[in-house]
Chains A and B, each alone.
Chain A
Amino acid sequence: MTNPILTIKNLTKKYGDNVVFHDINLTVNEGDTIVIIGPSGTGKSTLLRCINLLTRADEGQVWLDDKEITAKDCDEDVVRQHIGMVFQNFLLFNHLTALDNVLLGLTKVKHMKPEEAKVKALMELERVGLSDRAGHYPGQLSGGQQQRVAIARALAMDPRIMLFDEPTSALDPELIGEVSDRIVFLEKGSIVEEGTPDELFYHPQHERTREFLWKITELYGKKETGKIDG
């Protein structure tokens, strides 16, 4: 039996009276790819930000391996090194080249030697197929290339888990099914149901899930997805 790499327990986030999500429970095992789907404004992005502590949840806990990262004495800067995040709009550092975007965390956060860091950064860019764009600035890269630099920047930190916010705005549900082990349907701040892609897409148990899937099939590719890649 594998130990869970990420455990979310009773997580709740409110802004004033507005409940973004409540009582979220989720367990992710090492090597799992979890896809969270749901209508926009359901709290998917906020949930991801609460996992890497960019936003603080109001109640509940998040555990990374066997460490509670929502604990008060937990150093959030250290936690974030272990949780890679790729933002919806990538958020590359505008004043730095692709290479320097990947390098910055290695030299400033991991305190690697410049030469060592450069070798690693180039390797990460190679992995996403962009070593020939190392000297380009974000403004000189296409959206897809920016996304890959953002992935390289996150992977360079050797994170335990990776969070992707809306990585697949152009994929249809079947494709999402192919890359994921488990789909979680989130609506109005709570998990409606979860299961394997086959269960959720072809045999949804809840009326709300069926309705949502019907809508995104209609819109074809206009759906909102969030993804947790373990």
Chain B
Amino acid sequence: MDVARFLQYIALGTVYTVGVTLIALPSGLILGTLFALLNVYSGKVVKWFTSLYSTMMRGIPPIVLLFILYFIVSGNINLSPFWAGSISLGIVSSAYQMEIIRGAILSVSGGQMMAARAIGMSKSQAIRNVIFPQTLRLAIPPWSNEAAIVIKDSSLVYALGVPEILRRAQLISASTQQPFLAYAAAAAIYFILVFVTNRLLDALERRLRIPANP
């Protein structure tokens, strides 16, 4: 048995895992931020709909949503499993990211908005220049958590046949009859990806920290 070759085969799945994450996380961030802003700053109806969206999305297991969304996405647009799976995961993540951003917006004190309006800024200027820069800083630690979850949840797209780490580990496990080796290799790669991501985001948080913030 050529262990090195099998491990290399599994490791190459990292390209897909990272790819899925790099599509799902930013698309979830853009959607989540949009929904969070709508939830906090818009009228009752929009607030209700965005809350409903978040509650529904967070109340269903990601794998179930993935199948539903994949079915909807790939039924309407001709997309490869890789793209459809990534976008679906991004939609799942958007609900969680919406809650992260919403919580961060609400923890920037209302006084900051008042002070910005008092010097003649419009609401959107105040959001862009005063509320948002503070929100993003507050959001980094919980967002780091969500990034870890999305990296790990990217393994779900194996069910769509995307040849990412878990899918490859499963194939090796079946063909070599060495499940421990195959899955331990997969586990190690996921762990390193999550660990490095969290460390990078910690560093970003420290870099952006406001000195002696009250």
Interface positions of A (Cβ within 8 A of B): 52, 54, 77-78, 80-81, 84-85, 87, 89, 91-95, 104-105, 108-109, 137-140, 153-154, 157
Contacts and interface: CB of A to CB of B under 8 A. Distances in A.
B211 A93 contact: no
A100 to B, nearest CB: 10
A94 B214 contact: yes
Interface in B108-127: 111-112, 114-122, 125
Contacts, number: 74
Given A87-B111, A94-B112, A95-B133, A105 B214 contact: no
B39 interface: no
In terms of DSSP, what is the predominant structure of the interface of chain B?
helix
Nearest to B214: A139
A54 B118 contact: yes
Nearest to A52: B118
A108 B129 CA distance: 9
Nearest to B212: A139
A166 to B, nearest CB: 14
B210 interface: yes
B118 A80 contact: yes
B134 interface: yes
Contact of B120 (A89, A140, A157): A157
Given A80-B118, A109-B120, A137-B213, 15 more contacts: A54-B118, A80-B119, A81-B119, A81-B120, A84-B119, A87-B111, A87-B114, A91-B111, A91-B112, A93-B115, A94-B134, A94-B213, A95-B134, A137-B210, A137-B211
A95 B121 contact: no
